[in-house]
């Protein structure tokens, strides 16, 4: 029966890294998957994480199941404090409930299943473009998909008015996926005023916001990056937040994330959590503990937390530096197109504007791997690979 199957297409992001690994070219460059690299091109374990792991190794007494299966009280409290900020009204009123999930993808899938099975939701609207896994996840949950305009490819900016117009037509009770910060794939985020306008439309229309908050800390700062979310929280709305610690803790392969739901009261949040536990039980039963122990240890220890916040800041600064160097180097290589829009974008990703054909040529001729949409991972650039990278792009653009 397996032989009767057609081969499945490779994943548009993971498949590129698989191809990259097989490429024997010693000068190959991977700007596809959203993984941070330091100035040497490595993805090291953060110092704060290493120290937390040493402590965990020395004190851990059991590998018993995580209980409850929605995550430990300590982890869920630490996640909420990071999302909302200490002393926030949502924390004081206890109207949020958090479930520990395997990564941000796990959070999105648990949210999708909960929306479909428990809340009877019908449809999720997502930005055009969005992370290619978003539609696949919500489709797998049995939800219908809709899209709203997001990016103006001509002016390399947010397509704000058309976006808002589309959101004004989303029916009450539908769900709208919003990227909390560092929009994936465009790197274009709404301004605080634009966030406020989106929140106003949501309140008026009655659609429910579902935040993918996978990059907290990588745009402007841990608190600053929650600005979009705050616009909705200020209105006392019910909403969903999917967090990931893959990027800001560098815990990619530990699969640690969280789904937080914000309800109208503590009782409402407790009810929601009781259902999330059931959704999790029938999916992966219990979350993996190691990554969450690291996150809890770091966030709850003043010294480790300060160290981690410094490490997040260093990642953010290096990415911003690479954006500028990329723009400058392209210009130095004689590229006439203006790439300065890249310095206005946030987080790891940018929409380069490179066409599918140019992306294919970069891969086939120069062993430079980019997602076919033209999305580039700026965090994969280094001072060392910048010259060959920009030289190749200049050549491809001039052909
Ligand atoms: C990305 O968009 O490259 C990251 O979110 C990693 C992934 O899982 O696709």
Query: What is 274-328 written as a DSSP string?
Result: HHHHHHHHTTTSS--HHHHHHHHHHHTSHHHHHHHHHHHHHHHHHHHHHHHHHHH
Q: Would the CB of 13 count as within 6 Å of ligand 1?
A: yes
Could you report the per-residue pLDDT of 299-358, keeping only the tens digit for each?
999 999 999 999 999 999 999 999 999 999 999 999 999 999 999 999 999 999 999 999
Query: Which residue has the CA at smallest separation from atom 4 of ligand 1?
Result: 34
Going from the Cα of 234 to the center of ligand 1, the distance in angstroms, rounded, reads 30
Going from the Cα of 132 to the center of ligand 1, the distance in angstroms, rounded, reads 9
Q: Is the pLDDT of residue 360 over 90?
A: yes
Residue 396, C-beta contacts closer than 8 angstroms, at least 6 positions apart:
354, 358, 361, 362, 365, 366
Tokens representing residue 153 in the block:
């490819």
Query: Which residue has the CA at smallest separation from atom 5 of ligand 1?
Result: 34
What average pLDDT score do residues 234-238 get?
A: 85
Query: Which residue has the CA at smallest separation from atom 1 of ligand 1?
Result: 34
pLDDT of amino acid 15 = 93
Query: What is 145-204 written as a DSSP string?
Result: EEEEE-EETTTTEE-HHHHHHHHTTSPTT-EEEEESSS-TTT-----HHHHHHHHHHHHH
Q: Is the pLDDT of residue 236 over 90?
A: no
Going from the Cα of 108 to the center of ligand 1, the distance in angstroms, rounded, reads 13
Which residues are tagged catalytic? Answer: 131, 212, 247
What average pLDDT score do residues 157-176 get?
A: 98
CA distance 94 to 262: 9
Going from the Cα of 89 to the center of ligand 1, the distance in angstroms, rounded, reads 32
Helix ranges (H only) for the chain are 14-22, 47-59, 73-84, 89-93, 103-113, 133-140, 160-167, 192-205, 227-233, 266-281, 289-299, 302-332, 356-366, 383-398
Could you report the per-residue pLDDT of 30-42, keeping only the tens digit for each?
999 999 999 999 9
Q: Is the pLDDT of residue 260 over 90?
A: yes
Phi and psi at residue 32, in whole multiples of 5°? -95, -80
Q: Would the CB of 126 count as within 6 Å of ligand 1?
A: no
Single pTM value for the model: 0.96
CA distance 79 to 246: 14
Of 233, 144, 133, the closest CA to residue 180 belongs to: 233
Counting ligand 1 atoms within 8 A of each CB, the residue from 12, 18, 33 with the most, and so the one to mutate, is 33
Tokens representing residue 364 in the block:
């086939």
């Amino acid at each position: 029966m397996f032989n009767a199957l057609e081969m499945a297409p490779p994943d548009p992001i993971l498949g590129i890294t698989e191809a990259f690994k097989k490429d024997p070219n010693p000068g190959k460059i991977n700007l596809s998957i959203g993984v941070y690299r330091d100035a040497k091109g490595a993805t090291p374990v953060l110092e704060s994480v290493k120290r937390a792991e040493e402590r965990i190794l020395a004190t851990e007494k059991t590998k018993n199941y995580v209980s409850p299966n929605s995550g430990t009280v300590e982890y869920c409290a630490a996640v909420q404090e990071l999302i909302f900020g200490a002393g926030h009204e949502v924390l004081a009123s206890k109207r949020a409930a958090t479930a520990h999930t395997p990564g941000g993808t796990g959070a999105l899938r648990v949210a999708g299943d909960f929306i479909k099975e428990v809340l009877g939701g019908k449809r999720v609207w997502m930005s055009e473009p969005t992370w290619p896994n978003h539609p696949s996840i919500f489709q797998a949950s049995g939800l219908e998909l809709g899209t709203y305009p997001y990016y103006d490819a001509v002016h390399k900016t947010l397509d704000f008015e058309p976006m808002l117009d589309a959101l004004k037509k989303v029916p009450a009770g539908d769900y709208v996926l919003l990227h909390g910060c560092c929009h994936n794939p465009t790197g274009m985020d709404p301004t605080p005023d634009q966030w406020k306008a989106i929140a106003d439309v949501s309140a008026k229309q009655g659609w429910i916001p579902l935040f993918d908050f996978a990059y907290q800390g990588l745009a402007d700062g841990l608190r600053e990056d929650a600005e979009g979310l705050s616009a909705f929280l200020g209105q006392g709305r019910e909403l969903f937040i999917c967090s990931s610690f893959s990027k800001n803790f560098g815990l990619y392969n530990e699969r640690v994330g969280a789904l937080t739901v914000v309800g109208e009261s503590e009782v409402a949040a407790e009810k929601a959590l009781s259902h999330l536990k059931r959704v999790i039980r029938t999916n992966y039963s219990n979350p993996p503990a190691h990554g969450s122990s690291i996150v809890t240890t770091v966030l709850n220890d003043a010294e480790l937390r300060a160290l981690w916040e410094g490490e997040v800041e260093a990642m953010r600064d290096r990415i911003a530096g690479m954006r500028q160097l990329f723009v400058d180097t392209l210009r130095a290589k004689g590229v006439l197109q203006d790439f300065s829009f890249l310095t206005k974008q946030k987080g790891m990703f940018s929409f380069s504007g490179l066409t599918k054909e140019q992306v294919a040529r970069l891969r086939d001729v120069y062993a430079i791997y980019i997602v076919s949409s033209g999305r580039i991972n700026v965090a994969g650039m280094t001072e060392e690979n910048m010259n060959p990278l920009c030289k190749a792009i200049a050549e491809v653009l001039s052909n």
